[in-house]
Amino acid sequence: MILSSIQLTNFRNYAEQKITFCDGLNILSGRNGAGKTNLLEAINYLCLTKGYFHAGDSGAIKFNQDFFRLQGEFVSPDRTENISLAYQAGNQKILKHDEIVYEKTAHHIGKFPLVVIAPDDIVLIIEGSDERRKWLDNTISQVNHLYLDDLIQYNKVLGQRNALLKQWCAGNYRDEDLMQVLDEQLVITGR
């Protein structure tokens, strides 16, 4: 499937903009600050439910606004699918596929695969393994939902384990049994 059009509302520097793409290669050009990267960021949101270049949904809202909305039309020779994503400051994102709301945004990952390679990705080569792992996790998750589910669970358990370790270091709390359960869960989801 290819993205045939995208509509941006209150997204970064766009107040209201609809862009239609042609078949084949599309080239974005313009002055610095015109919104080329913001458009790529919006496409990333539609495919992966999050930004690529900037962290945090609140930062994607246009200045002096309290929400953003993106809508994209994806086409193939035999069908057209519409994706919309809306975010209001302080609330959950609402992601719809043909007007049906996803219960979990993770269910959308992989429907419209996207791999971004940007100039700043030089860190994949020169930095540590954390950046490479994050990039690989993102890419593999788009083609393997079991991997994505395990990754989500692994990160959740890892966060709980790290919080427990901080409590141990502060001397506030020590629970060997809970640590063992968390370690076992990490082994299961990290396999």
Q: According to the model, what pLDDT value does residue 134 have?
A: 87
Residues 87 and 154 in one domain: no
Last residue of a domain, one of 67, 90, 112: 112
Burial class of residue 11, CB neighbours in 10 A (0-12, 13-18, 19+)? buried
Q: Could you tell me if residue 120 is inside a domain?
A: no
The pLDDT of residue 179 is 92
Tens-place pLDDT, residues 87-141:
999 999 999 999 999 999 999 999 999 988 888 888 888 887 888 898 899 899 9
Q: Does the pLDDT at position 172 exceed 80?
A: no
Q: Can you read off the two tokens belonging to residue 17?
A: 């903009």
Task: Kindly state whether residues 154 and 107 are assigned to the same domain.
Answer: no
Number of domains in the chain: 2
Asked if 71 and 138 touch (Cβ cutoff 8 Å), the reply is: no
- pLDDT, residue 26, reads 94
Residues 26-38 pLDDT 10s: 999 999 999 999 9
Say if 108 falls within a structural domain.
yes
Q: Is residue 132 part of a domain?
A: no
Q: Are residues 102 and 159 in the same domain?
A: no
Percent of the chain residues past pLDDT 70, beyond the cut = 100
- Mean per-residue pLDDT of the chain: 93
Confidence bin at 2 (pLDDT 50/70/90) = very high
Quick check: helix, strand or coil at residue 139?
helix
- CATH classification of the domain holding 29: 3.40.50.300
- Give residue 16's pLDDT: 98
Q: Under a CB-based contact definition with an 8 Å cutoff, are residues 82 and 99 in contact?
A: yes
pLDDT tier, 162 (very low <50, low <70, confident <90, very high otherwise): very high
30 vs 72: CA distance, rounded Å = 22
The answer to the question of residue 138 being in a domain is no
pTM value surpassing 0.85? no
What pLDDT score does 147 carry? 93
Q: Based on the number of CB atoms within 10 Å of its own CB, is 141 exposed (0-12), middle (13-18) or buried (19 or more)?
A: buried
pLDDT digit string, tens, across residues 54-93: 878 999 999 999 999 999 999 999 999 999 999 999 999 9
For residue 136, tell me if it sits in a domain.
Answer: no
Residue 5 clears pLDDT 80, i.e. is over it? yes
Answer whether residue 137 is part of any domain.
no
164 and 106, same structural domain?
Answer: no
**Unique residue bearing structure tokens 């993102």:** 138
| Cα end-to-end span (Å), the chain | 32
- Domain enclosing residue 165, as ranges: 146-189
Which pLDDT value is given to residue 19?
97
Q: Are residues 39 and 95 in the same domain?
A: yes
Structure tokens at 156: 């959740």
Q: Last residue of some domain: 87, 112, 137? A: 112
User: 58 with 102, same domain?
Assistant: yes
The angle formed by the CA atoms of residues 60, 135 and 93, to the nearest 5 degrees, is: 30
Decide if 134 is inside a domain.
no
Q: Judge whether 126 lies within some domain.
A: no
